[in-house]
Amino acid sequence: MSRNIGPISNKASATYRHSVQLMSVIVFVLVMVFSKASAGAANYKLKAAYIYQFTKFTHWPKNAFEDASSSIRICVLGKNPFEKALESFSSRTSQKRNLQVEYLTSITKLGGCHVVFISKSEQKELKKILQQISHQPVLSVSDINGFAKHGGIIGLMTKKRKVGIEINVNSSQSAKITLSSKLLEVATLINKKPQVKIP
């Protein structure tokens, strides 16, 4: 006696194909998620390296430091997007000074920072933050969209996986910070005015 298993086999086959398709979609989504996460992490490693380089090409007034042995304080305000990328530079020196990385949650603790990276988490408070440090010798840096145009000193703009630099010259002058001509040459300048440059 023969058994007709055609309909059952077809149903099982369809179920199998559906499962394979579903798994393929899941794998694709996971790959995209992890790829974006990896790309985001790599992007902030690059931005951390930029910040380290900025400390080499920025001249602060003497009264910004207690003495010749004082460290350059790099502060991150808001949610830390760098993970430990910035800390990897804390063992290095810049302009014969040690580097000190700090993470802040309040603008009341910005006093004494020489560089402050303003995280995207602080976008709603950006105007207030910039007003507080506008006349202090603090190099403000952020990747908030239009940062330099809104009064920040250095904006890090990502376009087609490349990081570009925008510098608001007026803001740097208000902060009594002098930026090297080498840095100005590779940046898009906002509110350009004559400025004394260091080599």
pTM of the entire predicted model: 0.77
User: pLDDT value at position 49?
Assistant: 96
CA distances 126 to 77, 151, 176, Å, are: 11, 9, 20
Number of neighbours of residue 94 by Cβ within 10 angstroms: 20
CATH number for region 44-190 = 3.40.50
Q: What is the rounded CA–CA span in Å between residue 36 and residue 121?
A: 19
What is the rounded average pLDDT of the residues 128-157?
Answer: 96
What is the rounded average pLDDT of the residues 4-14?
Answer: 54
User: pLDDT value at position 6?
Assistant: 53
Q: What is the rounded CA–CA span in Å between residue 78 and residue 96?
A: 28
User: pLDDT value at position 51?
Assistant: 97
**Spatial contact of 139 and 39, defined as CB atoms under 8 Å apart:** no
Domain ranges across the chain: 44-190
What is the rounded average pLDDT of the residues 108-130?
Answer: 95
E-only strand ranges, 40-192:
58-59, 72-77, 93-94, 97-104, 115-118, 139-142, 154-159, 162-168, 178-179, 188-190
Window from 122-126, 154-158, 170-174, 192-196 with minimum mean pLDDT: 192-196
Those residues with Cβ within 8 angstroms of residue 12's Cβ, 6 or more apart along the chain or in another chain = none
Window from 15-29, 146-160, 175-189 with minimum mean pLDDT: 15-29
Q: What is the rounded CA–CA span in Å between residue 168 and residue 147?
A: 9
